[in-house]
Amino acid sequence: MRILDDHGLPDLTMRRLATALEVQPSALYWHFPNKQTLLAELSDRIVRRMASGTSDDLRTRAGALRDALLAYRDGAEVVSSTLALGLGSTLAHDRLADAVAADGFAPDTARRVATTVLHYVLGFVWHEQQRLQYDSAGVREGTTGLASDDFDFGLELIVAGLRARRRV
């Protein structure tokens, strides 16, 4: 996780990790058969930060996921790429789906809404993290990243659509 934070995803290599751990790169393959499984483990650790909340509210859980992703450089990209490969846990999706189901929606609806919210959060945070990196590199002078109220507004649109669907 420290290498990810210090160097970013492009420079997180098995060789760099082996050097940091003072082992041969081949020793890492005993624990992780390839870089993708290593990234799946990192993804699971990032997402587990979300799991500490106890609220069943979809907005709270989506916000907790956003916070977990923002806690690590390239966190959204790590989690998104892991999910795209079908690796790692389904914890984030499950926690979001549970929040929707707790609000009385059918399992299929809960699953679909969780997928939508998960994609929204990952996309928003990926864009947010890109802007933060550009700002820190001085590429975008005098600008700031996306605001939390922008995130909340988009999430509220999804929740309002879900509520409207209940009335149909």
The tens-digit pLDDT sequence of the chain (168 residues) is: 888 777 777 777 788 888 888 888 888 888 888 889 989 999 999 999 887 655 778 999 999 999 999 999 999 999 999 999 999 899 999 999 999 999 999 999 999 999 999 999 999 999 999 887 776 767 766 555 567 789 999 999 999 999 998 765
**97 belongs to a structural domain:** yes
| CATH code at position 49 | 1.10.357.10
Task: Compute the distance between CA of residue 39 and CA of residue 29 in angstroms, rounded to an integer.
Answer: 13
69 neighbors 122 (Cβ within 8 angstroms): yes
Task: Compute the distance between CA of residue 117 and CA of residue 97 in angstroms, rounded to an integer.
Answer: 9
**52 belongs to a structural domain:** yes
Task: Compute the distance between CA of residue 40 and CA of residue 65 in angstroms, rounded to an integer.
Answer: 16
**9 belongs to a structural domain:** no
CA-angle at 123, arms to 50 and 152, nearest 5°: 65
Give the amino acid at 159: V
Going along the chain, which residue ranges are E strands? Answer: none
Half-sphere exposure of 99 (CA within 13 A, CB side): 26
Look up the domain containing 87 and give its range.
35-167
**1 belongs to a structural domain:** no
**76 belongs to a structural domain:** yes
- What pTM, to 2 d.p., does this model score? 0.84
**8 belongs to a structural domain:** no
* Total domain count, the chain: 1
Contact residues for 21 (Cβ-Cβ < 8 A; gap 6+): 28
**6 belongs to a structural domain:** no
**75 belongs to a structural domain:** yes
